[in-house]
Every structure is written in structure tokens, then in C-alpha cells.
Amino acid sequence: MQQYESEQVTAWQYRWGDSEFVNGEPEWIVTPELHSSDWKDIDFPGMPPDRGQHNTVWFKATLPDSDHDYLHPVLYVTSIDLMAEVYLEDKKIYQFGDFNNKQHKSFYGWPWHSINLPNDYAGKTIYFRVFSSYRDIGLWGEVKLFEKTHLLFYLLEKAYFEVLVALFSLFVAIITLAFSMMHRGERHFLYLSLFSLTSAVMLLAENPAVQFVFNYPLVRVYLLAISYYALPVITSLLLSSWFDDWRHKWLINIAVIHFIYLISVIGLSLAGLIELAVTFPIFDAIFAITILLIIGLGISKRYSLASDQHLVMLSFTVYGMFLLLDMGIANSVLPWMHLDISVGALLFALVLMLISLRHYSHVQSALKELNEHLEVKVAERTASLHAYAEAEQERAEQLQRLNVLGARLEELNSRLQTVDNLTEARHLLIKKLPDVFMPVELSVTTSFDGVSFERQLAQVELQELDGSYNVFVYLVLNNLSSKKLIKQDNLNDFINRVKLRLGVTLSSIKLKEELHRFSFEDALTGLANRRFFDLALHRETQLANRQKNPLSLLICDIDHFKHFNDEYGHEVGDFVLKTLAQLMNEFFRETDIPCRYGGEEFVVIMPGATIDDATEKAELLRRIVADKQMVFNGKHIDSITISIGIADLTPSRSESEQLLSDADKALYIAKECGRNRVETTHP
């Protein structure tokens, strides 16, 4: 290793407590002659004796008058517990941490420090004001003078081996992770991968060279803590997968304890309830015991472990010894020295790589045997695959054809859903359903009469409202050979699909037809009902006004119908109503609109009819009704007469409501004047 020019700073003194500040300057520095007797000698500016309850300490030393001609002198400090202000004579030249907020936060990480010095530093006194609520207080590691560029190379030289080991561990982690994914049932490869990964993160987090590219000390400490605290969790889980006796339970409990510690301290620290620094000594004590327990459990099972497990156990033992030594140095149990724990990590990574290579070799051998076996199987199945491919090709063609047929069916069904009545629906199916079945040639008919049995393909049925079924159309083959173009099973399935889809749509049309009829038709007489009359009168009135055409309205009422109903009964009364409705249907023009208005009242809308035309028509209807012989169940019953009121559309009577009201008034006059007569209203 190259030797870089550097000098130790010696002859340190310390003083517990904190200085008063006068005008922002520490009194102990401004008037050193008044406090010289309070300073005590110490070999190194860290962990002075007799700390008691003190959290603040001052260190001072005189910077040496060196023969080195530094161009950019710096003072290098390995680490500080926990925060510090640095003064050269009475000038503050460096600060790490916020002393004004020290009661709330005192831990900012453990970076190395490079303190810039002026060129005339020699012989001047340097002061360190240090605060720590941690177990340790003061400077830690090395305190040396360097040329700034030399310090850079010094740190890189110290760090490069750890970086290489960390990168190698990451590579091993990836390799073992790949094996764990290939063999999901073998969890030990996953644990080995995680162990390598945490070791790599731990090495990188505390590596001094990383500070050059990632100068976030507290983040690095969190990464260090998470990876460091996770080591015993992963190790215990790894070893637990090897055992199936009481050792398994012990190791699981150890893993749980460490996992709870990891989650708790990281969570509390992030929440600001504790400083992360204070958790390291506690963990070191627990981890030291855990390392010894794990080594002891491994030794107790040494005779039943496989060769790979022996290698892992041996490498962990060596790695564990390095970790124990590092704990001793970090907790001042052992004197400070530069200990490279990456050697232990490297050994563990090399063992994992060796295990991975051996496993890879075994896998390759197994793959070779499997490949030879597969070649034999492939040769045996090639012929059957050709046959299967041909069958699959045919099946694909059939499926494609069925998809085409299905698309045609859905298109036809969509058109059918827009149809308003069954007659139109039948015409559409006769015309378009044969196109759906192409290339099968067929026609659609309304019966199988005269059709041979082999040409009778299928029937599409319509479900009536009472639940019964009637054949709606028949499918007849025109070309028997075309039937073979589609496999019989596929054709049968498609026919069933056609019958189901079209049957549902036809039932919907039937229901729509019936609902339309029920909503505008009087159930007893078959004439249009009151609802239809209201709409028709409004429509015809607007049309007549717009086109300046005449329009007349008749209101008819059966004379003494209540007395007739009471004498003969409701059944005869219904017969009379239906008879009158039939006469009106036969009597009036196609353009006239007879409706049952309610009870024994009927109305007739007569578009294009003047008041004289309507009166003449009404008088003729009255005579026909009066002359009509009524025979019910073979017995003659009394004849009926009707009274009729008429109103026509005039400039003063241009609204449908007024037209209806005036016609009703005319009917009232007809009844008042003795019934069996026709009366009109005048403008």
C-alpha cells in the first residue's frame, strides 16, 4: 500500500462542560488564560474519564509545525460521536450537526470528516466542541493532517477492497436468487441470496468511498442498521431450514426476536422517538450472543449436515468472528484498529459461489440426461404431432366457419329485434335466414308439406304467452351434399343456437305485439279504447287545422242501457255492446275511427267529414241500430236505440277539448229531447 504524507495530532487536552458564549464567541477560546488550569491531558480526544452526566466536552490540541509543505491542508477525522463544532483559535471553521437543536436531534450519522485548514495553521490551537447523548462521546478512529488530494487517494485505497467485495457479494446474491427461483421449494437459496445482499449493503453503507458519491450520512446509517440488523434474521431462517428438531424452533424464535428489534428500532427512530445511534450497542450485545448460539447449534448438528451446509457453517463462523471483533472495537472493548470485515464477507461470498457452481454443475448433468430422454420422446411423438396438427387445422377451419355463422346470426338477430310484428319477422327470416347458414344450402318455409324427410332440417318455434309452442318457420335443405361441409356435431350445435336466439327474439316480438294491442284496444268490443281515442283526436285535430280540412266528432250513447242491463243481465249487456261495436266497424269508412269511450258510450272521429256529412251518416246509423233484431242464445230480446251528439271543427272550436265538450253537449240535448235522435252543435 502506498504511504501518503500525514501527521498525527497529539498532546490533546479535554474539559467537561460547555463554554459561555460572549457575542457569539466561546469564552474559553476568547480568554484562554483565565481557564488554562481547567484543561486536562488525554492521549486521544475520545471518551474522557469521569463523564458523569455530562453530554458536552471540549478538546484542544496544538497543530504541529510540520516539515510538509501542504498546498491544501486538511484535518481528517474518522468519525465523531455525535456532533461537533471546530474552532481554529477564535474562528469557527467546521460544524457537524445543529447545537441549537441538540435537545431534539443530536444524531446525523457517522461520516468521516475533512476539515479545511489555512496554510498558516502550524502552531495554532484547534478546539473541538462535542455534544453526544450517546454512550460514546468525542472523536473516533484517526485524527491526522493530510494534503487534501492525498486524503482522497488514502480513503480510496482503504475502501476499494471493500467495494469489490460488496460488488462480488451482490453478484453472488443475484446468482443464488436465480437458483432460488428455479427451485422454489428450496428456500435456503433464497436465504443465502438475502444474506449476501445484506452483507453487500452493509459494506457499502459504511464504506468511506461511498461518501464521495452519496453524502447523506444519516441515510447511510439507516441502510447500515437495516442490513446489519437483518443478518441474524436471515441466518437463523437459513439454519432453521436445515433442522427439523428443537433446533428449528430455537432458530425461528431467534429470527422473530431480531425481526421485532429491527422493525421496532427503525420505526421508533424514523418517528423521532429515539436516536438510531443508541440502538447499535444494544443490538451488538444481542447479536454477539446470537452468533455464539448459531455457531453452537451448527456444531451440535455437524455430523448430519451435508457438505454444502458444512461450508456455509464454516464461512459463517469466520464471518461471525470478524463481526465480534468489529463489535469489540466499535464498543471500545478492544483498542481501535482498522479491521476489514470485508474479508469475512468475501469468504462467505466465495463459499456461496462455490455452492452455486456445484449446484449448477449438478443441474447441467441432470439437464443433459433429461435432454437425451426428451430426444427419444420427441422422435416418438413427431408422427402423432403431424396427425394432431392436421386435425387441429381442420378444427380451426371449422371454428372459423362457426364464428362466421355466429356473426351472421347475431347480425340477423339484431335486425329481427327492430321488427314490430310477427308477420314482418316471418318475411325477414324467409328472406335472410338462408344466408346465415351458407355454405349449407337451405330455404325457409311456413310448412314441411311436400318436403321429404331427409330434407327436413329443423323448426324454429315461437313460445306463446300461455307457455305453449308453435312452429314459426321450417328449415328445408335444398342441397343434401352441402350439409357435409360442416361437421354434424357443429351443425347441430349451431342449429340449436339459432333456435334459441331466434326463439327468444320472436317471443319478445310477440309480447311487444300483445302489449301494443292491449294498450290501445278495448278488451270487450275490439274497438280502439279511450287511451287511443285521446291520442287520435289530438292528432287529427292538429292535422285538420294545419291542412284546413273539415273534421267531425260523434258521441253515441245506448238509450236506457242501465235498465236494459238490469232486466237481462250483464252477459246480455256485453252482447249488446259487442253487437253495436260490430255494426259501427262495418258501417263507417276506413278513414273513420270508431272507439269505445267508456260504459255504453262510443265515439267516432270522422276526418274530412263536414257537419252535414256527419249528420247524414249518424242518422243512417241510428236507423240501422233501431231496426236491428237482437237475438241472444236463440232468443229474441228488445231492440236498442242510440242517441248521437255531433260537433265539427270551426274557427271558434279549433281545439280537441272544445270539440269533445260540444259533441257531449249535443248528446245531452238529444237525450233531453226524447232520445233515439241525432243533435248537432252550432258555432
Per-domain residue ranges of the chain: 6-155, 157-365, 400-518, 530-680
Give me the residues of the chain with pLDDT under 50, please: none
The DSSP code for 110 is -
User: Each residue of 116-145: b (16+ CB within 10 Å) or e?
Assistant: ebeeebbeeebbbbbbbbbebbbbbbbbbb
State residue 192 phi and psi, 5-degree precision.
-65, -40
Distance CA 647, CA 554 (A): 7
**Rg (alpha carbons) of the chain, rounded to whole number:** 54
State residue 243 phi and psi, 5-degree precision.
-110, 150
Identity of residue 509: I
591 class by beta-carbon count within 10 Å (0-12 exposed, 13-18 middle, 19+ buried): exposed
CB 6 within 8 A of CB 150: yes
Distance CA 237, CA 231 (A): 10
The DSSP code for 588 is S
Instruction: Provide the whole-model pTM.
Output: 0.50
Distance CA 352, CA 177 (A): 11
Please spell the DSSP secondary structure of 118-157, one letter per residue: -TT-TT-EEEEEEE--SS--EEEEEEEEEEHHHHHHHHHH
Per DSSP (E only), the strands in 434-550 are 442-445, 456-463, 469-477
> In this predicted structure, what is the pLDDT of residue 610?
93
Residue (of 9, 105, 128) closest to 58 by Cα position: 128
> In this predicted structure, what is the pLDDT of residue 111?
92
Please spell the DSSP secondary structure of 421-461, one letter per residue: SHHHHHHHHHHHHHHHHTTS-EEEES--TT--GGGEEEEEE
CB 653 within 8 A of CB 618: no
What SS3 class is residue 167? helix
CB 668 within 8 A of CB 645: yes
439 preceded by cis ω (within 30°)? yes
The DSSP code for 37 is G
Q: Tell me: domain 530-680, CATH 3.30.70.270, correct?
A: yes
Distance CA 365, CA 360 (A): 9
Q: 6-155: what CATH class?
A: mainly beta
> In this predicted structure, what is the pLDDT of residue 41?
92
Cell of 338: 482498522
> In this predicted structure, what is the pLDDT of residue 346?
67
Whose grid coordinates read 478546539?
127
Distance CA 225, CA 201 (A): 10
For strands 642-648 and 678-680, give the pairing: parallel
Residue (of 142, 183, 143, 515) closest to 355 by Cα position: 183
Residue (of 242, 259, 344, 237) closest to 298 by Cα position: 242
Distance CA 344, CA 337 (A): 16
CB 287 within 8 A of CB 233: no
> In this predicted structure, what is the pLDDT of residue 95?
94
The dihedral built from the CA positions of residue 582, 587, 589 and 593, taken in this order, carries a sign that is negative
The dihedral built from the CA positions of residue 297, 299, 304 and 308, taken in this order, carries a sign that is positive
> In this predicted structure, what is the pLDDT of residue 594?
93
